[in-house]
Structure 1
Amino acid sequence: MIERLIRTAMQNSDDLVVSLEYTDSKGNKTVRVVSPIRFTKSGAFLGLCLCRCEPRQFQFDRCTKLELKKAADYVMPVPMVAA
């Protein structure tokens, strides 16, 4: 499910981004808006985090509440909020 949603955003990168809740290695949860770039190792992808304005790697098992959103609705930097 996650991989299919990420792939859809990659294939439509001019039109779609992904909103997700991400849990970092310390257990902190934030809501991010990401433009996926490519799959990296198994279970992860590289994406342009519109909140941090830089590429970041995201682990599938730390991502929840993924939704496709219209890219045109977001301008960097997107505020990163605690979940």
Structure 2
Amino acid sequence: MIEGILEGFARSVGWFLGHVVSFVIFRVGYFIGWPLVKCLTLGAYPGKRRYQYGERQYTQEELWTSCLGVLIAITLAVYIYTR
């Protein structure tokens, strides 16, 4: 019985952490990376975000923009911390 409770707790924690990581990468990262990508590509990328009903599908442009934003945030945090 304890094993079932612990397994359910571990699954809940994993689900929560997965959604937090997804939020940070695809929401915060996109918000930070969007202006830089727009400036570097002279407004060509990223295109308009596409929304669908149900499960969210991310385009490759959105993924790269989000990853660039996360990289900028990490680099800035390391710079400020080591300064």
Give the number of the structure whose residues are more often strand, by fraction. Answer: 1
Largest Rg, 1 or 2? 2
Compare the two structures and name the one with the higher helix fraction: 2
TM interval, short-chain normalised: under 0.3
TM-score, normalised to structure 2's length? 0.25
